[in-house]
A and B are shown apart, each in its own frame.
Chain A
Amino acid sequence: MLAYIIRRIFVLIPTLLGVSILVFLMLHLTPGDPAELLMGERASEEALQEIREHLGLNKPLYEQYGLFLKQLMQGDLGETIWTRQKVWIEVKQRFPATIELSIVALFISCFAGMILGIISATKQYSIFDYLSMLGALVGVSMPIFWLGLVFMLIFALNLGWLPMSGRLTVGVELETITNLYILDAIITRNWAALRDALWHIIMPAVTLSTIPTAIVARMTRSAMLEVLRQDYIKTAKAKGLSQFIVIFKHALRNALIPVVTTIGLQFGVLLGGAILTETIFAWPGVGKWMYDAVMQRDYMVIRSGTLFIATIFVLINLCVDVLYAVINPRISVK
């Protein structure tokens, strides 16, 4: 198994190189002068010349790419165009915020989606089944920003149960290690901060998880229905096993195979949805940052953000493949 994982990681290298080339070329493939693209049409000739010098845009392409890769290896993501700040400083703050939000949302959608799907499948054509599948249909078609605003209106403004926005209440102390606040609070045993961080993440995470929950629920239901029809389920029942074991040991393990793929794909949807959710709830993550960067045409930020999202995507795919091999013994890992 370990050998399989290592082999899979090696296969990632060319993929990631490809991503880096694409991200690098993003600027150069756009028609027009890169310097002008960066600085805007009304920039003075000196300013253009200066940015060319600064970013090495006057060097040959392969040399620029070589430099870009070298910096990347050293963890240097360059500077923002306008403020000339190290991109890395922002990245360290913002990537964990997005990851934390996405992972919590993913957990919610896996958990809720699978439970709904399993119950619907085992009670096919019952009221519960109809209601949850109707809910799933509404869930996938719900505009995320609208839902976020409705939640905010109800739970923050009217009921006052949950905070409006942000990651932590101002004044709550938290020693940051990973910048994943929930994790940091657990590591440092700072229960007050943990409670506060969870408090803040509930609404954005639930908002973000709506669509994936609906998709996972539908996928789980159809996969379970398919599996429950199989002969080996009849065998399991005929062996006198309890309903619980038949469903969770015999059926779910098999149904998980397609569901895991779906969940992997949902992570991409989550990252996309994160941009909207973060903007609504003022969540200081990559999504909001990228949104601002696009508005300001900060190429360096967009480049880093794209690299980040692509890398996460590739890593998630790796996880899915590994999980796949774990639950499906028919995939040869040798």
Chain B
Amino acid sequence: MRHLLEVKDLEVKFALWFGELTAIDGISFTLDRGERLGIVGESGAGKSVTGFAIINLISKPGYISAGQILFEGQELNRLPEDEMRSIRGNRISMIFQDPMMTLNPVLTIGTQMIETVLAHENVSKSEAVDIALDKLKKVHIPSPEKRIHQYPHECSGGMRQRIVVAIALLTNPALIIADEPTTALDVTIQAEIMDLLLELCESEKMGLILITHDLGVVSQITEKVIVMYAGKIVESGATQSVVQDPKHPYTRGLLKAIPGIIPPGSRLYQIPGMMPNLTEIPQGCSFHPRCTISESICSTEVPALISKDQHHRMVACHMVK
């Protein structure tokens, strides 16, 4: 069966005045219809750039320098802009981090919803309003008829993120890319929004790419996960097996760093060191300077992402057998 989304050897570069920076260095993954994938990694790993690359919206000096993005049988990175536009916000929706910033402050909720419907579907304005109201109900917004006349600043943070989710649902997309959809919200609301996303993905049979640095959230929501470090995939596989039996030292570090209930007085674990700046990626395995088990081969040879067990697990590490 053909995949819903297939990313093959994607490479994204940013043209800077002193040269080029490779933000995404040859990553590949697939997603099937209704499947949920998590992308995790530290800040700067290239998670957001991956999301933007899929809908061909990488910001200015950046561009896709190699690879293929196949979605519903079309090669997105070769599509002309107007055809790409008819997929964006229609077959693929994107949800961003901060609901305070992602809704336009000077337009009403209704305006921002209706324009999306009208951009993609051949319906009248009143039909568009009905669709908007229907989706607001789906995300459990009380009295949606009143809400659509309000401006974003009249809604709470959690409410706004529900509205953002409702906007993403408007055109019944096959895929939602959620880039840290709850990082800006407080913990209880985070859980609410995550539950909502999960519920909607299941009931609407939508694919989900959940970008986050929180492996805890990923293990609750997703079926597959890829772990990114400095523009590369270092580990990928079924979420449960990765979380229960992480193989790459970086994944292990990330899992240890999840704030759980820790005994008073003890300190939260941190992976030593920082992710390198992408302009000065170390030779060999880019993680080796921070790695606790690295050996001499790690500083000279780049480890390939290869299968390490029978459960589709892929790991890029010389030390993992």
Q: Are the chains A and B members of one assembly?
A: yes
Q: Chain A interface (Cβ within 8 Å of chain B)?
A: 230-232, 234-242, 245, 249-250, 253-254, 257, 327-330
CB contact under 8 A between A238 and B98, given known A245-B115, A250-B107, A254-B105: no
Q: List 14 A-B contacts (CB under 8 A).
A: A231-B97, A231-B101, A234-B96, A235-B164, A236-B104, A237-B88, A238-B88, A240-B119, A241-B85, A241-B89, A245-B115, A250-B107, A254-B106, A329-B151
Contact A240 B88 (CB under 8 A): yes
Contacts of A234 in B (CB 8 A): 57, 96, 102
A199 to B105, CA, bound (A): 43
Kindly report which residue of chain B lies nearest to residue A328, judged by CB atoms.
B106
By a CB distance below 8 angstroms, the chain A residues around B108 are 329
- Whether B116 and A232, one on each chain, are in contact in the complex, defined by CB atoms closer than 8 angstroms, is no
Interface SS of A by simple majority: helix
Within 8 A of A (CB), among B40-89: 55, 57, 85-89
Within 8 A of A (CB), among B108-126: 108, 115-116, 119-120
Write the residues of chain B forming the contact surface with A, with a CB cutoff of 8 angstroms.
55, 57, 85-90, 93-94, 96-98, 101-108, 115-116, 119-120, 151, 153, 164, 167
- In the complex formed, the residue of A with least CB distance to B55 is A238
Q: Which 7 A-B pairs have the closest CB atoms?
A: A240-B89, A239-B89, A240-B88, A231-B101, A238-B94, A232-B104, A329-B151
Taking a contact as CB atoms under 8 Å apart, the answer to whether A232 and B105 are in contact is: yes
Q: Is the CB of A241 within 8 A of B55?
A: no
Chain A residues within 8 Å of B102, by CB: 231-232, 234-235
Q: Which residues of B contact A240 (CB under 8 A)?
A: 85-90, 116, 119-120
Asked if B115 contacts A329 (CB within 8 A), the reply is no
Bound-complex Cα distance A231 to B85 (A): 18
Is there contact, CB below 8 Å, between B104 and A239?
A: no
Tell me, in angstroms, the Cα distance from A206 to B105 when the chains sit together. Answer: 35
Query: Shortest CB–CB separation between residue B109 and chain A, in angstroms?
Result: 11
B153 with A239: CB separation less than 8 A: no
- Nearest chain B residue, comparing its CB with the CB of A251: B104
For B57, list chain A residues within 8 Å (CB).
234, 237-238
Determine whether the beta carbon of B106 is less than 8 Å from that of A231.
no
Smallest CB separation, A108 vs chain B (Å): 26
Q: State the CA gap A236–B55 with chains docked (Å).
A: 13
Docked CA distance A321–B98 (Å): 30
Q: Which residues of A contact B120 (CB under 8 A)?
A: 240
CB distance from A273 to the nearest CB of B (A): 32
Is the beta-carbon distance between B96 and A239 smaller than 8 angstroms? no
A231-B101, A239-B115, A242-B119 provided; 10 other pairs, C-beta below 8 A?
A231-B102, A232-B104, A234-B57, A238-B55, A240-B85, A240-B88, A240-B120, A253-B107, A328-B106, A329-B153
Q: In the assembly, what is the distance between CA of A327 and CA of B151, in Å?
A: 12
Contacts of B88 in A (CB 8 A): 237-240
In whole angstroms, how far apart are the Cα atoms of A242 and B115 in the complex?
11
Most buried by A among B89, B94, B104, B151: B104
| CB-based nearest B residue for A230 | B101
State how many angstroms separate the Cβ of B99 from the closest Cβ of chain A: 9
CA distance A328 to B107 in the complex (A): 9
Residues of B within 8 A of A232 (CB): 101-105
> How many whole Å from A112's CB to the nearest CB in chain B?
24
Q: What residues of chain B lie closer than 8 Å to A230, measured between beta carbons? A: 101
Cα–Cα distance between A44 and B164 once the two chains are bound (Å): 82
Chain A residues with CB below 8 A from B98, complex form: 231
Set of chain A residues within 8 Å of B87, measured between Cβ atoms: 240
Q: How far is the CA of A241 from the CA of B73 in the complex (A)?
A: 23
For B93, list chain A residues within 8 Å (CB). Answer: 238-239
| Residues in B whose Cβ lies below 8 Å from that of A238 | 55, 57, 88-89, 93-94, 96
Is B107's CB under 8 angstroms from A235's CB? no
A174 to chain B, nearest CB (A): 43
Q: What is the CA–CA distance of A308 and B115 in the complex, to the nearest angstrom?
A: 46
User: B106's contact among A235, A236, A239, A253, by CB below 8 Å, is which?
Assistant: A253
Complex Cα gap A327–B86 (Å) = 29
Q: Is the CB of A330 within 8 A of B115?
A: no
Q: Tell me which residues across on chain B come within 8 A of A254, comparing CB atoms.
A: 104-106
A235 with B103, Cβ < 8 A, contacts A242-B85, A329-B151, A330-B153 known: yes
Inter-subunit contact B116/A239 (CB<8 Å): yes
